[in-house]
Each structure stands twice: as structure tokens, then as C-alpha cells.
Amino acid sequence: MRLLNFCRITTKIISQLLAIIIVFTFVFACLAKLPAMAASRLFEGLSNAQLVALQSIPDNINTRNSNSFVTEAVNKVGLAVVRIDTERLITRPTNPFFEDPFFERFFDDNVRLQPPSQELLKGQGSGFIVDSKGIILTNAHVVDKADKVTVSLNDGRKFIGEVKGTDKVTDLAVVEVDTKGEILPVATLGNSDLVQVGDWAIAVGNPLGFNNTVTLGIISTLKRPSSAVGIPDKRLDFIQTDAAINPGNSGGPLLNDRGEVIGINTAIRPDAMGIGFAIPINKAKEIKDVLARGEQVPHPFVGIQMITLTPEVAQQNNSDANSVLILPEVKGVLVTKVLSGTPAEISGMRIGDVIVEIDNQSIISAEQLQRKVENSGVGENLQFKILRNGREKELFVVSGQMNY
């Protein structure tokens, strides 16, 4: 009897244990399906392309280090960014009164025989190494007329630099240092033609004497004409950025988010607040080897001063009773001055002419005309179509070399 009761109790306990195991197994199975069900609901409505994009997220997304893309970009280029210190000795002439016979009697010999005074002017800027043998790119105004150039690397090394060539029209210069066989770090040059508005922009340099400074912004505008920036003597279409660029940043690199140089910073507007400008790196690529050889960079010119003409501007001019010219109400370029002895004067161009075509290409702005001439080459025979006194006229202008 006791044995029978024991068997019944044991059977009941085993049945209860099996029931508990079955319940727990069911609960865990449901819980395991919940993430998949949630993910299924989450991905409902996503296109195949979006699903592929999600699947392409790197496996190590949660294991990446904490460094930002800015840190990674600067680390790639930082050692190739240099500080450039310049010295220039200025000799100031003696007072002209000392050499005038009439005033000579009023000064004693000690005063009249004083030598001309001298003053040492110091400047500072930035640059970056583009060749491991010691070729450095910077701004022309950083090394302009310098008697001594000292190049300092971030690792503490210093070299005496030689200015191989400068080009004031593009504000570019090449400095060479004698590395005595040392291999220098080199910055990677990007492609400024691929830059878009809204891309990240990282400025590196030594602004206001603060070495190794990095500022971050975006590309604000592309192809900002130098004339619009307020420097009509230059021939550049700048990259505009809101990354801070101050004196001392000049000549340093502007980087993209991959650490490639897309521009050369230039502090050309002391009144600029939150706006900086950079020379596109592709322009520097075009002429850096010419500058390194000490050769003159070709800059074709025709010799006119001009403004963009629109129908609205012409109407406003023509409605003024005191206007000395009646302008055609068209899009083109108005010649405001013809420089003496230039190709334009030789061709017969006059003040008041309106240029509407060059080589059968419509011209509607001064910036477009400047680019057309710049890209033509020195000695090119250009066919201008102009409007003069209401009539069309053709002039042939042979572009010359701009001297500065």
C-alpha cells in the first residue's frame, strides 16, 4: 500500500515538473521572437536599396575609437603643415632737407652725416609640404620680398627656405628647403573640382601666432570671383568657407573630411567676419611646378577695365539726362577704360564698347570674360564682337603677357 502511494506521489511531481518546463519553454520562445517581430515591423515599408544600405553598415560600428573624422583628417596632414617666418630689412632714406643746399646750413655735420635708418620687418604664415625633398606651397604675400625665410615643422625641426617662385596674380608661391637627405612628410592633394557646397572644411595653420590650430566649418560657396571679394588685381575663383581663417593661416591647407588638401587658405579680408577664402588646390597643381623652376606663370591679358552690363543697368543709365553714353540694353561687358599700350588699345577698342562675344561664344559677365581670356593662352588671336554706337563691329585682339 505504501509503495502504491509513493508511486502516485512521484508520478504527480514529475507531471508538474514537465508542465513547468513546457510553460517556461513556450515563454522563452515567445521572448526570442519579439526582437525579430519588432525588426520586421521596423523594416516594413523600406525599399530594397534602403535595406541593402542598412546591411552595409560596418560590423565594427560600435567598436570604433572615439576620435572624430576631424582628428583623423588632421592626423594625416598635420606633420606636413609648416610655420613660415619671414624677415625683411627696410632701409629708410635720410631726410631730403639734409641734401637740399638751401637747408644744409641749418644742420650741423653730425646731423647731415647720419646714415639712413634701417628697420627689420617680421612676418609669419603657414604652408604645407608637397614633395618629401623639401617643396612647400604657400601664399605669395606670405613670402613677398622676404630677405630670410625660416620653415618650422611640427616636430621641432627648422630649415632655411629659399623662395623659388611667386605669382601675385594667383597669390601662390613655392619655397624649397635643403633637407640634407631627410625625408619630409607630405600632404595628400585632393581634387577641388569635386568639392560641393555643404562639404566639411577643415582649416589648419598658425593663425595669429597660435601654432598648430585647427578650425572646422563647411564649404559655403564655390567659384567666388576675386573681383567680388574685393581684389580685382587677382585672377581667382575662391572657395568660400565659414571655417575661421585669420592672419597666420595664410598659406595653410584647407582639408576635406578625408584629410586631402582641397584649397590653400588666404586671409585677404581683414574685415571678414565668419567668412574665409581658399585658393582651389587644382589651380595650385597647374602652376606649382612652374614656380618651383623659378619661371614666370603665363597670364594672358587684353588690357581693359570693365563691368558687367545688363538691360536693367543700361536702362538706368539711359534714363539719366546727364549720362554721356547711350548703352545698348543687352547682356554683355562694358569697357570702362582701355589701358595705354595694351593689346586692346592696339586693336582699336574704345571706352563705351560693349563686348557681347569672344570667338563666337556669348559673353554676359566680366568674370566670364576674364576666365575666357585667362584660358586662351598668351599670344592667342581672339575675335571680339562688340557693340559701338548701336552697330556691331569685330575686333581681333592678340592677348599679351600680364606683367606685375
Active site residues: 141, 171, 250
How many residues does this entry show for the chain?
Answer: 404
Phi first, then psi, for residue 388 (nearest 5°) are -135, 120
Strands (E), 58-147: 81-92, 117-131, 135-138
> Are 333 and 307 spatial neighbours (Cβ–Cβ below 8 Å)?
yes
Closest-CA residue to 110 (of 96, 124, 98): 98
- Amino acid at the residue 339: L
Strands (E), 168-241: 172-177, 200-205, 213-225, 237-241
Helices (H) and strands (E) in the chain, counts: 11, 20
Distance CA 272, CA 230 (A): 11
State how far the alpha carbon of 382 is from the alpha carbons of 342, 361, 378, in Å. 14, 11, 11
Distance CA 83, CA 151 (A): 6
Distance CA 152, CA 380 (A): 43
Phi-psi region of 45 (alpha: psi -120 to 50; beta: other; left: phi over 0): left
